[in-house]
A and B are shown apart, each in its own frame.
Chain A
Amino acid sequence: MKKESAAEAFDRLYSEHAAGLLGFLTYQTGDRSLAEDIVADTFERVLTSRSGWRGRSGEKTWLYAIAMNRLRDLARRRGAESRALERASAFTDSADELGAVGDRDLLQRAMLTLSDEERAVVALRFGADLTLAEMAELLGERQSTVEGRLYRGLRRLRDAAG
């Protein structure tokens, strides 16, 4: 069997996972441009560091772990996440003012009312189509824990988004 070159591996990884990563990060950050930047960062890391590559079976988890680390770095540096959550609380009080806002915007804003953990599982599931088993592996949690968190997040999201 012919061994996959680095360039071929990169192209395959990108083709298989870039769209999913973008979907996840857009839901997670609420900012498409920022999500694109983090996707680019993630794949840049793939290009420059192959040491963490655990082979094809673990590559999806590895990619999402890189992306989540980049997100945490950003949140730490800017402290924006907590402020966004504070402002999101104000949003829930005035949701009826947002009738003209598209459903995607409404959902993205409502995502900010979730806890970090709930938002992550909802974004991974519905932004990137990860299975419960994949999310459990990525987050280092039991599948039942992830499932419960997902249901809790969905209920809060349903209430916030109307």
Chain B
Amino acid sequence: MSQFDDQLPEDLRDIAARLSAARVTPTPLELDELRRRVHGRGGHAGRSPQRRGFAGLLRTKLLAVCLTLGLTMTTGVGVVLACDSFGGGGQNRFGNVWQTTSFRHDHDASYCQYHGPETNSYSWRTRHSTLTVFYVWDCRHLTVYFQCGEPFGFRWDNGGWNDTNLTSYDSVAPSENSALTITVDGVTYTLGPNGSAAS
């Protein structure tokens, strides 16, 4: 506790201690990585950090998926690739992906061997911006990345709402889930076994 905290009124010391304890403290490794980003970004000033962050994320995830697939192929394991292009995916396609990537928990290692990791993204024009949902299924976990120009909320199946108050977020799907619902400015967007829909 700092000298300043010692001088705080009694009724504020608890919240001050909680704030100090919850402060983000990056590891040396994280700081090094961030420093490399700064040095690697020279000449790209002027772009939105939000866009850059998400674009970087997309590139990173695409690279990871393709490297995984490439490694699998070169090690002689027979596979059929199922690497979606970003931005694609219709309703039928989504329904198929949804079941096999498992919010229903019906996948297994052999299935993944033949179908491989999956990535896909879905976009909706909202009233004031665009909502993009990008997912990566790595044969073990389904990670969903949200990007929106305004705050949004989401929930898995009938679980509790996660009201992010943020414009970008990521979430790993819990097991036994079959639908993801997102709300933006009062409008609901659903991804599930029957495809994608807005209401």
B31 at interface by CB-CB < 8 Å:
yes
Which of the residues A90, A97, A154 comes within 8 Å of B16, measured between beta carbons?
A154
Interface members, chain A 99-120 (any B CB < 8 Å):
100, 103-104, 107, 109, 112
Q: Does B42 contact A (CB under 8 A)?
A: yes
Residues in chain B near residue A132, CB distance under 8 A: 4
Q: CA of A63 to CA of B145 in the docked complex: distance in angstroms?
A: 31
Report the separation of the CA atoms of residues A124 and B35 in the bound assembly, to the nearest whole angstrom.
21
CA A64 – CA B12 in complex, angstroms?
25
Is B29 an interface residue, CB under 8 A from the partner?
no
**A interface, over-half SS:** helix
Residues of A close to B169: CB separation below 8 A: 31
B22 within 8 A of A: yes
A90 to B53, CA, bound (A): 28
Tell yes or no: A68 within 8 A of B by CB. no
Asked if B165 and A77 sit within 8 Å, CB to CB, the answer is: no
In the complex with contacts A80-B151, A103-B18, A151-B12, A32-B52 CB distance below 8 A: no
Contact A40 B16 (CB under 8 A): no
> Beta-carbon contacts of B23-48 to A below 8 Å, as 1s and 0s?
11110000100110111011001001
Since A18-B31, A39-B34, A125-B4 are in contact, a sample of 9 more A-B pairs with Cβ atoms closer than 8 Å, ordered by chain A residue number, is A22-B26, A26-B24, A34-B49, A41-B45, A43-B38, A44-B45, A78-B50, A83-B185, A154-B12
User: What residues of chain B have their CB less than 8 Å away from a CB belonging to chain A?
Assistant: 2, 4, 8-9, 11-12, 14-16, 18-26, 31, 34-35, 37-39, 41-42, 45, 48-50, 52-53, 128-129, 149-151, 160-161, 163, 165-169, 185
